[in-house]
Structure 1
Amino acid sequence: MSVSITFTDAAKRALASIVAQSERQLKLAFDTDGCGCLVDGVPALWLVDKADDDDVAVETNFAPVLVERSRLIFFDEAMTIDLKPGTTVFQLKSPGQTLNGHMPLVEVKSGHER
């Protein structure tokens, strides 16, 4: 399955300086920490040092985003990352649903889940 990720202008403005000043990469993760099992989780936006072995880079209209190949099944084919109005958190949406309406950018050390 392939995914398409588009950033809104608001999201690009919010992330531009962070990505430009950092040698880190954006990662769209399916965070299962504290969720009980691997199929219970929530999409999360991470800033990571490097790609993990299972990560694939998805080209976007902003910067490449890493996604774990084994977790692609949990995402929709076409997704948009937007900035939640009046906040510093992001939203992950697809044409049919909001996948995560309150998604902060989390810095994660490589090789470690949050």
Structure 2
Amino acid sequence: CIDKITATAPLQEMFDRVRNTNSAVLINDVMAGPVNQIQRRCNIHIAPVSTRDTQILLLFNLRDEREQSGPSGSAKSAIGMAEMLAHEIKNPLAGITGAAQL
């Protein structure tokens, strides 16, 4: 079964690049899917099957919906630390006064 696929990435250009360089290409965070159907967020891997052939492997790796909804736990933690540090820089005496009261 062969379906036509549409994507928000220059697939033909990437196919040509894979053929010319004989090396794989990874395209992150692309909307893709069958023509006239719902598009899904995915990563696309394009790679040559062998060095002696012109066949190309095209792999769509669907992204987890949780990845799309916002920052991950570690990103949220880093943002929180940055906010706390910015607050302490703005109010340097508050930290010193609080520590002195202990």
Aligning the two structures, in what range does the TM-score lie when normalised by the shorter sequence? under 0.3
Which has a greater percent of strand? 1
TM-score scaled by length of structure 1? 0.25
The structure that has the greater radius of gyration is 2
TM-score scaled by length of structure 2? 0.27
Structure number with greater CO (CA < 8 Å, separation at least 6) is 1
Which has a greater percent of helix? 2
